[in-house]
Amino acid sequence: MGSAALEILGLVLCLVGWVGLILACGLPMWQVTAFLDHNIVTAQTTWKGLWMSCVVQSTGHMQCKVYDSVLALSTEVQAARALTVGAVLLALVALFVTLAGAQCTTCVAPGPAKARVALTGGALYALCGLLALVPLCWFANIVVREFYDPTVPMSQKYELGAALYIGWAASALLMCGGGLVCCGAWVCAGRPDFSFPVKYSVSRRPTATGDYDKKNYV
């Protein structure tokens, strides 16, 4: 029962991390810059993401523009797109594999094979977390390096956006959840008779007097 609880808890963490990864992929706040032109009163913030860039005025007006050409994008943006989308799709595959091997489902017969399927799903989730970390850390390194570069103008310096922090949290949840699923499956790997406890009761049969036979009831 404890290993089944580990698998369920790990699957919940992985699902939350998967949603967070999708959110981080879609948000335009991977790079954020805020500056104030001293000649005018209007302040604005520029956001840059994997799919679009936005300009937010201090008045609350926001204007976003989707990138026109994929080939015109920088190498890090193209690689981040591929890795992030790949991690999201791999997490979807890991979900079906984990559900097939989970102790609370009957897709696979209980035994070592079922535990190995769940172990594979947990490993795929952990791989998703590591795969998502690559573009996140790559972008963070570029932002920090350019921020401290004296040759970059102040108006073109960027800071770490909220999407990076959401992505890091999602990656941590995916790796932790995948580890819990693997731990739960590892406990059952050497126990063919170990399965999620399900109790069944024998149906009661009426006697000649119309009462139910209590001896056949569990």
Tell me what pLDDT residue 218 has.
45
Sheet containing 31-36: which strands, arranged edge to edge? 62-66, 52-57, 43-48, 31-36, 159-160
Report whether 94 contacts 102 (CB < 8 A). no
User: 20: closest CA among 127, 169, 161?
Assistant: 169
> What is 1-26+70-190's CATH topology?
Butyryl-CoA Dehydrogenase, subunit A; domain 3 (1.20.140)
Which residue blocks in the chain are alpha helix, DSSP H?
Answer: 2-26, 75-101, 112-147, 162-189
Two tokens at 140?
């963070």
For residue 31, the cross-strand partners are 48, 160
Given a contact cutoff of 8 angstroms between Cβ atoms, the answer to whether 99 and 105 are in contact is yes
Q: Is 156 exposed, middle or buried (0-12, 13-18, 19+ CB in 10 A)?
A: exposed
Domain range list for the chain: 1-26+70-190
Quick one: pLDDT at residue 216?
47
Whole-prediction pTM: 0.79
Task: From first to last of the 218 residues of the chain, give the pLDDT tens digit.
Answer: 567 788 889 899 999 999 999 999 999 989 988 664 554 455 678 888 899 988 888 777 888 888 888 878 888 889 999 999 999 999 999 999 988 888 777 777 777 788 888 889 999 999 999 999 999 999 899 888 888 888 877 777 888 889 999 999 999 999 999 999 888 877 766 554 444 444 445 555 555 565 555 544 44
